[in-house]
């Protein structure tokens, strides 16, 4: 029996250093990746010196560094990470964690998992708050944090992040699904990119069962749309085959919105409206719409963007 709740999951504060790692390359390839990560970390910044070469963690050893919670990131293409510590006499230590996520899309995805603060101007996307700098560039996600925030550590954390971002030679594209998000009302710092239904349930609880057929080969974006009176959510899922698109939409409607019938839109028990449609390889769903019209308008805006991309 499918257990469904038509409410948003409470915001979950994710541990910034979580990751998932999948190293499918032979050991020689993994060693080369580790060497590349070391090359991104300077020996000194603002008087803080690296304490050794740092430690590399893979799928088998990750939990030695992060005890619990890393399952969330197993859904991304994480390969390896390097943890480097910087010390300076009389000052709090600074730690830099460098993640090879395998693709720029998944580097963005890990960055998006907790993103909420304004852009910090480092890499392809970044934020800084309370001694913690997070950024992504190319296939690399980086977390730099001070054990205690001071004016000096903030300056050093930002400087270290900038040095590392400069050392990452290649940029990479963010997920193409982001191009389908209508801009009006979009709360862009709370857009989440992911692959599986466990991740979706962290951001917006949908169902215990995987009713949309999400998995490692699907791409999904959840985006909030805000006005003074309302917060709607738009979910976009891109499937690898037309057959999977049909199964995903049919599975969602049957389990979550059976009252919609062939229309794909209905008012749910909370009083809000939910609408679901498919266009090409994308299933699009609106949640928490205050009216049928608002739900249809948001889907129509996505449909227009999809049509523009195919013409």
Dist CA 97 CA 292 (whole Å): 46
- CA 262 to CA 243: how far, in whole Å? 18
For the segment 167-196, the average pLDDT, to the nearest whole number, is 96
Instruction: Say whether pLDDT at 216 is over 70.
Output: yes
CATH architecture of 27-167: 3-Layer(aba) Sandwich (3.40)
Q: Taking 70 as the threshold, does the pLDDT of residue 17 lie above it?
A: no
Predicted TM-score (pTM) of the model is 0.88
Does the structure show a pLDDT above 90 at 18?
no
Among the residue ranges 26-40, 48-62, 182-196, 255-269, the one predicted with the least confidence is 26-40
What pLDDT score was predicted for residue 5?
Answer: 34
User: What's the rounded Cα separation, in Å, for the pair 197 and 187?
Assistant: 22
The pLDDT value recorded for residue 63 is 77
Q: Residue 4: which pLDDT band, with cuts at 50, 70 and 90?
A: very low
pLDDT at 36 over 90: no
* Separation between Cα atoms, residue 187 and residue 223, nearest integer Å: 7
Decide the pairing of beta strands 265-267 and 192-194. unpaired
Distance CA 1, CA 149 (A): 49
Does 142 score more than 50 pLDDT? yes
CA angle at 15 for the pair 45 and 6, rounded to the nearest 5°? 145
User: In whole numbers, what is the pLDDT of the chain averaged over residues?
Assistant: 87
* Confidence check: pLDDT of 128 > 80: yes
Q: Residue 167: pLDDT above 70?
A: yes
Closest listed residue to residue 110, CA positions, set 92, 81, 138, 136? 136
What confidence category does residue 58 fall into, taking pLDDT thresholds of 50, 70 and 90? confident
CA distances for 285 relative to 50, 99, 178, 233, 298, angstroms? 48, 32, 15, 8, 9
Domain boundaries, the chain: 27-167, 176-310
């Amino acid at each position: 029996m499918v257990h469904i709740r038509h409410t948003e999951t409470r915001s979950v504060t994710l541990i910034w250093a979580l990751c998932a790692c999948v190293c499918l390359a032979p050991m020689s390839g993994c060693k080369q990746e580790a060497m590349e990560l070391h090359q991104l970390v300077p020996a000194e910044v603002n008087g803080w010196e690296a304490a050794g070469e740092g430690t590399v963690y893979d799928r088998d050893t990750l939990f030695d560094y992060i005890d619990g919670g890393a399952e969330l990131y197993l859904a991304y293409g994480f390969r390896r990470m390097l943890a480097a510590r910087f010390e300076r006499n009389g000052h709090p230590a600074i730690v830099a964690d460098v993640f090879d996520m395998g693709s720029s899309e998944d580097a963005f995805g890990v960055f998006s998992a907790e993103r909420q603060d304004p852009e910090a101007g480092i890499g392809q996307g970044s934020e800084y708050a309370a001694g913690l700098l997070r950024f992504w560039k190319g296939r690399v996600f980086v977390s730099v944090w001070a054990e205690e925030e001071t004016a000096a550590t903030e300056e050093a954390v930002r400087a270290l992040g900038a040095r590392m971002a400069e050392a990452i030679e290649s940029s990479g594209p963010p997920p193409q699904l982001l191009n389908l998000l209508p801009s009006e009302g979009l709360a862009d710092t709370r857009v989440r990119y992911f692959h599986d239904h466990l991740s979706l349930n962290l951001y917006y609880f949908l169902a215990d069962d995987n009713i949309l057929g999400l998995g490692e080969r699907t791409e999904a974006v959840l985006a909030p749309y805000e006005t003074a009176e309302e917060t709607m959510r738009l979910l976009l899922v891109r499937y690898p085959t037309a057959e999977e698109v049909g199964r995903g939409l049919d599975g969602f409607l049957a389990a979550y919105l059976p009252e919609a019938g062939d229309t794909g839109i209905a008012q749910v028990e909370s009083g809000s409206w939910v609408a679901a449609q498919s266009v090409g390889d994308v299933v699009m769903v609106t949640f928490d719409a205050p009216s049928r019209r608002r739900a249809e308008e948001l889907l129509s805006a996505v449909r227009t963007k999809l049509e523009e991309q195919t013409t």
